[in-house]
Amino acid sequence: MQSLFDTDGEIEALAPGAVLLRGRALGVDAELLATIEAVAQAAPFRRMVTPGGFEMSVAMTNCGAAGWITDRKSYRYTAADPGSGKPWPAMPAVFLSLARDAATAAGFEGFVPDACLINRYETGARLSPHQDRDEASYDHPIVSVSLGVPATFQFGGPRRSDPMKKAALRHGDVVVWGGPSRLAHHGVLALKSGEHPLTGRCRFNLTLRKAF
């Protein structure tokens, strides 16, 4: 049902090359969450350590041919889960088709991600501003899907000193970042206490990329 006040279905340009597709994942939200649970059974969520020695507040796992990790050595993509030595779980078809459809809607045709980082935020978890620079090429967009408790996202430009804007990312929102926005600095403010019927007190974010 559509009310005057909801914004689901709207398409908003956040910046050149950055497109917010409000509520785009709502039709498959339960399927995405069940799939996250299945991935996490094979490759559990864990809080990784940065090269600087800090434990991240966001818990992470991956699926697809490539998975993003950090440890004392570096930030990088690996074909295997360092926790188990086994390949990351395969990229689920529902992730692949959502990413491709969203990229097409944003003007990036033919996007085929090989990596999906799954972030799990509990109350207080945050991601400080950074660039996504560990991929082999920056010619492909990145698709992100938000599920559960809403978060405030911040994004700037290619320079750390560029001013940052804020946007609320709610359950079902999809953002596509490509072209001139591909190397924008971005982060997520500390998750506020909240509850969502499908995720409890958590927020999940899928980040679909072409890494290799």
**Which residues contact Fe ion by CB under 5 A?**
132
Among 20, 69, 98, 117, interactor with ligand MD3 by CB under 6 A: 117
119 binds, among ligand MD3, Fe ion, none (CB under 5 to 8 A by kind): ligand MD3
Is the CB of 62 or the CB of 89 nearer to ligand MD3? 62
Q: Rounded to the nearest whole angstrom, what is the least distance from the CB of residue 110 to Fe ion in the complex?
A: 22
Contact assessment for residue 143 and residue 77, using Cβ atoms and an 8 Å cutoff: no
Backbone angles phi, psi at 144, to 5 degrees: -120, 140
The residue to which tokens 């991600």 are assigned: 113
Least Å from the CB of residue 69 to ligand MD3: 12
Let me know: does 183 contact 140? Beta carbons within 8 Å. no
Q: How far is the CB of 155 from ligand MD3 (least distance, A)?
A: 5
For residue 8 the two structure tokens come to: 């689901």
Q: Is 207 among the residues that bind ligand MD3 (CB under 6 A)?
A: yes
Nearer to Fe ion, 68 or 88 (CB): 68
Binding to ligand MD3 (CB under 6 A) within 143-182 occurs at: 144, 155, 175, 177, 181-182
Distance from the first to the final alpha carbon of the chain = 41
Rounded-to-integer distance, Cα 182 and Cα 188, Å: 17
CA atoms within 13 A of residue 110's CA, in its CB half-sphere: 2
Closest-by-Cβ residue to Fe ion is 132
